[in-house]
Structure 1
Amino acid sequence: MRIRPLAALSLAALSAVILAGCAGSGEPDATPTPSASSAASDCGLDPQPGADSDAVTVSGSAPALTAEVPTDLEFTDLQRTVVTEGDGDDLAGGDLVSGQYVIIDPATGEVILDSATLSADDSGLVPITVNGSSIFGSAVLCAPLGSTTAFTIPGSLLGEGASNAVVVAQSVEQLPTVATGEDQAPVDGMPEVELADNGEPTVTIPDAEPPAEVQIAELKKGDGATVESGDTVFVQYSGIKWSDGSEFDSSWSRGEPTQFETTGVVEGFQQALEGQTVGSQVLVVIPPAFGYGEGEINDADLTGETLVFVIDILGVQRAATQQ
């Protein structure tokens, strides 16, 4: 499916968030491609502290972070200040943590988005994928777990006509990057799944005709929050073609979990996610009618292919429109 992390909130996507005042990143992309890191450094965007980020006053701790932003910041470059340093290990790309982030309009001091309002449980925390190619991932990357940071972002980096923005964030707890739920009995007729030591699945397709309807089996049952329609899910996944057993897409190959809205993927994938619980591992078989449509199978796209996915559901964030 070549899923793009629809809510990864790259610099361009953050602009859309600020302008729209919600957590989505625009229209779903039917055939997205993996995104590369925006910098060669292990610390990604690697923003340094400066006068702007140093001037942001952060109070409280997650999930009750607040900040005061002076109105005279210059926003000449991207800056990050570690306001309070945590006592955990430095976070690296590919980690998944719980935490809080707050987006602030520096012109008014108004909070544009507080992730605590999007939490799927009573903790007030949301998952954050640590990487160097997104704003929130960079906000906590290469800082000790538990740190609070202030991030000042010039509008010129967010896109034409975009406003300056301030993000404050705190990482709280390391989250598993594999499903941790209770093993479930295999379902007859479904593909077989074997897991490597790191949790990456290998899928064996049955010697049989593919089903005409979506088939879903729980391989592990988690006890976390339930995924609802429109939520942003944080997952590991592998996608395999039924026709030849070849893998066509995988978060494992990119070295980190990915995230997207349940309404931003094909129907069969959406069915596999919604109603499941965090910590679960789901196996789904998606016929063409619920994937990329009927037609002659070819190497150019996924038309006509029956698709098999193994999905580890690691976290969930509610849609802003549900608040």
Structure 2
Amino acid sequence: MRLPIALTATATLVALALTGCTATPEPQAEPGASSDLIEVRGDFGDAPRAEFPTPLRPQETQCTEIVEGDGETLGEGQQALVGLAVYNATTGEQLQSTGFGDEPAVPVVLNDGTLPGLVKGLSCASEGSRVAVAVPPADLWGEEGNAAIGLGGEDGIVVIFDVHQAFLPKANGSPRITRDGFPAVVTAPDGRPGITVPDNPPFETTQVEVIKQGNGQTVEDGDNVVVHYTGVLWDDNSVFDSSWESGAPASFVVSEGEGSQVIPGFSKALIGQQVGSQVGVVVTPEDGYGDTAQGSIPAGSTLFFVIDILGVA
């Protein structure tokens, strides 16, 4: 399986952004004197034109919604596809603009790997939002600044985000009862699964069970699917891979033929299922890695995955 690249807050501009019952997430920033001074022109989805008085020196990250979005605001661990335009708040110089028009949107995860100011700013947004965010140095690189992108230690940034698409933070479907002899799954409030593989021998063919039934878009052959997953070995119940541990969802193409970016058993588990579902799949060696060892996975291993289907990109 191809694993996602870790998203971190690095020095390059694009990397600024690449970097139970569920309560509505609480925004970590509010409108303020600085963000309210940012004037934004242009339609949602097109590259914006932002103007603001300089130097703009917010004391804390502020966020003003320019275009109202739909649904709940983004929360901890959630992934979104965005367009973003970045400006030096001291000089007004535009530093970066990407993800607008025909350009591919930029994936951002609201987690510890993304700059705090961007996380706080996006926590005010929802799918379809355009937000203007003013970020002080303390929520960026602090007093050191970032010379690689022309930011001094006293420079903040202004970011205009268009949130094109937001994915679920975890499966939100209705629980279903699985068959006898199938691994037991218990889900923590944040969505992380706990898995217990039974003592009985593994199934002879790949088997799929819906643990939670979602009601969103149906995954089709060739789709690029956004998921959270945990994989364990049937023999000893040990975890060999988990997107939950990396702190960010994974995204890959599932297909019954050429073009798939995952093992056949993983594709079989997802194609035909609906967004919002949690699926369990027992993957036999024939639909997994066969007689070839793969990292910590011994040759000939039967695998078990729990997969939360968060969206189709």
**What band does the TM-score fall into relative to the shorter chain?**
0.5 to 0.7
Give SS of 2:182's match.
coil
Q: Is the Cα–Cα contact under 8 Å of residues 150 and 169 in structure 1 kept in the other structure?
A: no
Give SS of 2:266's match.
helix
Q: 1:140 Cα shift?
A: 4.2
Matched residue count: 256
Q: RMSD between aligned alpha carbons?
A: 5.2
Match of 2:224 in 1: 231
Q: Return the alpha-carbon distance in structure 2 between the equivalents of residues 7 and 276 of structure 1.
A: 27
Give the alignment partner of residue 95 of structure 1, picking from 70, 77, 86: 77
Q: Is the Cα–Cα contact under 8 Å of residues 293 and 303 in structure 1 kept in the other structure?
A: no
Give the alignment partner of residue 306 of structure 1, picking from 275, 280, 302: 302
The code of the aligned residue for 1:314 comes to: L
Change (3 A) 1:231 1:91: closer
Q: Return the alpha-carbon distance in structure 2 between the equivalents of residues 240 and 185 of structure 1.
A: 21
Match of 2:48 in 1: 67
Query: For 1:40-88, what per-residue CA distance to the aligned partner results, in whole angstroms no more than 9, with x for missing partners?
Result: xxxxxxxxxxxxxxxx974357x54531489xxxxxxxxxx9773589x
Q: 1:183 Cα shift?
A: 1.7
Q: Where do residues 256-275 of structure 1 align in structure 2 (5 Å cutoff)?
A: 256-262=247-253, 263-275=260-272
Give SS of 1:271's match.
helix
Q: Is the Cα–Cα contact under 8 Å of residues 252 and 261 in structure 2 kept in the other structure?
A: yes
Q: 1:283 Cα shift?
A: 0.2
Match of 1:161 in 2: none
Change (3 A) 1:227 1:296: closer
The code of the aligned residue for 1:261 comes to: F
Q: 1:292 Cα shift?
A: 2.1
Match of 1:51 in 2: none
Q: 1:90 Cα shift?
A: 9.9
Q: Where do residues 75-224 of structure 1 align in structure 2 (5 Å cutoff)?
A: 84=64, 94-96=76-78, 100-101=82-83, 113-114=99-100, 128-133=108-113, 139-141=118-120, 144-146=123-125, 147-149=131-133, 168-171=160-163, 176-224=168-216
Give SS of 1:264's match.
coil
Q: Is the Cα–Cα contact under 8 Å of residues 95 and 174 in structure 1 kept in the other structure?
A: no
Give SS of 2:180's match.
coil
Q: Is the Cα–Cα contact under 8 Å of residues 240 and 296 in structure 2 kept in the other structure?
A: no
Q: Is the Cα–Cα contact under 8 Å of residues 7 and 260 in structure 1 kept in the other structure?
A: no
TM-score (norm 1): 0.57
Q: Return the alpha-carbon distance in structure 2 between the equivalents of residues 13 and 232 of structure 1.
A: 27
Runs of at least 5 residues in structure 2 that lack an aligned partner in the other structure = 20-37, 52-60, 87-96, 126-130, 136-145, 150-157, 254-259
Runs of at least 5 residues in structure 1 that lack an aligned partner in the other structure = 18-24, 26-34, 36-55, 71-80, 105-110, 120-125, 158-165, 318-323
Q: Point out which structure has higher relative CO (alpha carbons under 8 A, 6+ apart).
A: 1
Q: 1:241 Cα shift?
A: 0.6
Q: Return the alpha-carbon distance in structure 2 between the equivalents of residues 145 and 310 of structure 1.
A: 31
Q: Return the alpha-carbon distance in structure 1 between the equivalents of residues 310 and 177 of structure 2.
A: 21
Q: Return the alpha-carbon distance in structure 2 between the equivalents of residues 244 and 191 of structure 1.
A: 12
Q: Return the alpha-carbon distance in structure 2 between the equivalents of residues 12 and 187 of structure 1.
A: 50
Percent of paired sites with the same residue:
33
Change (3 A) 1:65 1:295: closer
- Bigger CA radius of gyration: 2
The code of the aligned residue for 1:267 comes to: P
Q: Is the Cα–Cα contact under 8 Å of residues 227 and 316 in structure 1 kept in the other structure?
A: yes
Give SS of 2:286's match.
helix
Q: Is the Cα–Cα contact under 8 Å of residues 48 and 85 in structure 2 kept in the other structure?
A: no
Change (3 A) 1:91 1:179: closer
The code of the aligned residue for 1:217 comes to: E
Change (3 A) 1:196 1:264: same
The code of the aligned residue for 2:296 comes to: D
Q: 1:131 Cα shift?
A: 3.1
Q: Return the alpha-carbon distance in structure 2 between the equivalents of residues 127 and 275 of structure 1.
A: 25
Q: 1:226 Cα shift?
A: 2.1
Match of 1:48 in 2: none
Change (3 A) 1:280 1:181: same
The code of the aligned residue for 1:271 comes to: K
Give the alignment partner of residue 248 of structure 1, picking from 231, 240, 246: 240
Match of 2:4 in 1: 5
